[in-house]
Structure 1
């Protein structure tokens, strides 16, 4: 197991692009008995992923924003240590969407796995999952907590700095007027000043900023500005 972790870190360190990163993680997963891997960063409504999951499943997951109901994501937000999970153990429910989620995940070969999660910037959640179509899996990975977290953080760093492409879920993009209000707020203007500049009422400006905060899952206008800069909206 130590050798597998070392090889993963070395390969990620030399990876120059999306395909090499996917290859490194796919090899790592296979070396310890898993068929699939998935890296996920969730920040508010925004989801970034890097995975070897089947393309049809990735499309369904992102387009339907299934991160909302994903039991693994929910558990990851509560736990900061590696944990095993199984779709067979998810409680039956009258919620049709949840039943469909479980059945579709299994049909795409995602039945069990191990996940490690840590808290990222802006209260985001970072996750690395190794998955299998089998009912039972080895829990060896979860017994190496420190190394697992090191691997996760390494994937996160490379995905931001070196990956040429990362799958991104549907963005809650800002409207032109919302973006204008955020831009002027970022320049230090208050509501009445922005209203005067843009020829709007202060209430309309506040409404645009409130909608923008909701889309970005920001708690305050300064938080909104920070997120907007981080996502290159400004």
Structure 2
């Protein structure tokens, strides 16, 4: 019902599609009615790393309007490809509203249009926009929404099993004995698992891996 309401509101406001993006260090995901193929490409091609809209949202944390640049005027080949593919799916202009979330993460709601430029009848009410998106974020977190697309994070089999034992409270020496590995090898796999999850500690790494169903 919430997705249907978002889609209806998007059309009422004069846009075509919406995208809610929850950007975390290792678990960035989207809930959107963008074309499924575009969502798949966006994450598969890691466009989030070069998307100018996401970059502005991270740095300025304010509601803003945007329009796609002409690909011919962009120097980066990868960015030209991004603009070109976005245009193929009718994404040419829009408004994005970012908000800070727990642990320094960022969420944003984007309403996009196929129109080449965007003209608002009045200035964006920053407070109202941020309040609305904050409430949307809280509701989506509460409902534990299944994303329509997300970045994939993976662990090797050894990283996963060592982290699984660590989550069970086993020490590295105990894991080494259980898995018939050396202490150094266990330490190597756990450190790599922690880095892959961008975690500051093994406890955080185990918690993230469990949440992502990697262990």
Question: Which TM-score applies when normalising by structure 2?
Answer: 0.87
What is the CA distance between 1:184 and its match in structure 2?
A: 2.3
Structure 1 contact 40–48 (Cα < 8 Å) conserved: yes
Task: Give the match's secondary structure for 1:130.
Answer: strand
Structure 1 contact 178–211 (Cα < 8 Å) conserved: yes
1:144 has 2:116 as partner: no
Shift of the 32–92 alpha-carbon distance from structure 1 to 2, 3 Å rule, reads same
What is the CA distance between 1:89 and its match in structure 2?
A: 7.2
Gaps of 5+ in 2: none
1:161 and 1:203 mapped to 2: Cα distance?
41
What is the CA distance between 1:215 and its match in structure 2?
A: 2.4
What is the CA distance between 1:208 and its match in structure 2?
A: 1.3
What is the CA distance between 1:157 and its match in structure 2?
A: 2.9
What is the CA distance between 1:100 and its match in structure 2?
A: 0.6
Task: Give the match's secondary structure for 1:206.
Answer: helix
Mean alpha-carbon deviation: is it higher for 41-50 or for 160-169?
Answer: 160-169
Alignment of 1:1-234 (within 5 A): 20-88=1-69, 92-139=73-120, 143-162=124-143, 165-234=146-215
What is the CA distance between 1:200 and its match in structure 2?
A: 1.1
Structure 2 contact 194–200 (Cα < 8 Å) conserved: yes
Structure 2 contact 66–93 (Cα < 8 Å) conserved: yes
CA RMSD of aligned residues (A): 2.4
Mean alpha-carbon deviation: is it higher for 140-149 or for 205-214?
Answer: 140-149
What is the CA distance between 1:202 and its match in structure 2?
A: 1.9
Gaps of 5+ in 1: 1-19
Shift of the 215–31 alpha-carbon distance from structure 1 to 2, 3 Å rule, reads same
What is the CA distance between 1:161 and its match in structure 2?
A: 3.4
1:172 and 1:31 mapped to 2: Cα distance?
36
Shift of the 113–91 alpha-carbon distance from structure 1 to 2, 3 Å rule, reads farther
Q: How many equivalent pairs are there?
A: 215
